[in-house]
Every structure is written in C-alpha cells, then in structure tokens.
Amino acid sequence: MTIKAGDKMPDGNFGIMTDEGPGSLSTGELFSGKKVVLFSVPGAFTPTCSLNHLPGFVDHADAIREKGADTIACMAVNDVFVMDAWGKDRNVGDKVLMLADGNGDYAQALGLELDASGYGMGQRGQRFSIIVDDGVATQVNIEAGGEFKVSNAETALEQLSN
C-alpha cells in the first residue's frame, strides 16, 4: 500500500557515509522529534535528478530550514558509495543528507518502488517528496511517470508555509 498523508512512516534503515566509512541511519534517528523533508530520485547521476531535483533542494536549503525543517534528505536506490560520490559531485555539503536505499527496501515499504528494468536500471524508487513531522507523513507528493512537477523544492517550501 502506498504511503499517504497522515500515515506513520515505516521503520527501516538507510546507508550513510560517515567519517569512518559506510554507516547506517534508522528511520527512528532520522524522523523522531524532527520535521524532515524527504525526497527520492530514481537514480544518482541521472539527468533530471542531477540537474534539477537535487540542486533545487541544495539551492533552497536555507529557506526550507527557515520554514521549520530540521533535515532535508535525499533518498535513492543506490549504494552508499554512489550516494556519497553524487553528493560530492553536486556540492551538497551539509545541506542535504544523502541516504542510500541500496536494495530498495525503504521504497518498497513506502509502496513507492519503480520497475525501471525497461531502461536497464532494475528496481528503483519513484520520484517523490514527503514532509514528515515526528515520524508522520504530513504531505506526500508523488510524480507521475517521467514528470518533475510536485516533488521539487519549491513545492516543499510552499507546503511548509501552510
């Protein structure tokens, strides 16, 4: 079943890069007591993801935090090494937390998996954004196939203002 506004975020873990190497971050650590803007892209280094989606959140990070977000997090069905390299390539710094959903387990738990095998990309996650307040999804924005209209940083800013 696909997550919707009002639902509790499912439990899970993400891969993250730490100063000591690959590590793990639980959804409890990520969401508990915090307002988080979580967005997902089908793949690191892909055109829309690299040129528009991630950069929009980097560019608007300060404004998003001013609207009450404690964390901005980018999720993709890629491994922790790819997510770390992509973050460095896009000069993310500490503006966006890069989360690896290596096997797509969290995308599946959200009901937002994507079969991109027709494009040679295997199982991925859909393009979406979710505003999470203390572990509960308050806004869920899922893109139609091939679109980039509702999961962008501007939409998150607007929704945080309401």
Q: Where in the sequence numbering do the catalytic residues fall?
A: 49
Alpha-carbon distance values, 60 to 17, 54, 152, 153 (Å): 23, 10, 10, 7
CB 14 within 8 A of CB 149: no
Question: How is residue 44 written in tokens?
Answer: 């690191």
DSSP 10: P
Report residue 51 CA to chain centroid gap.
16
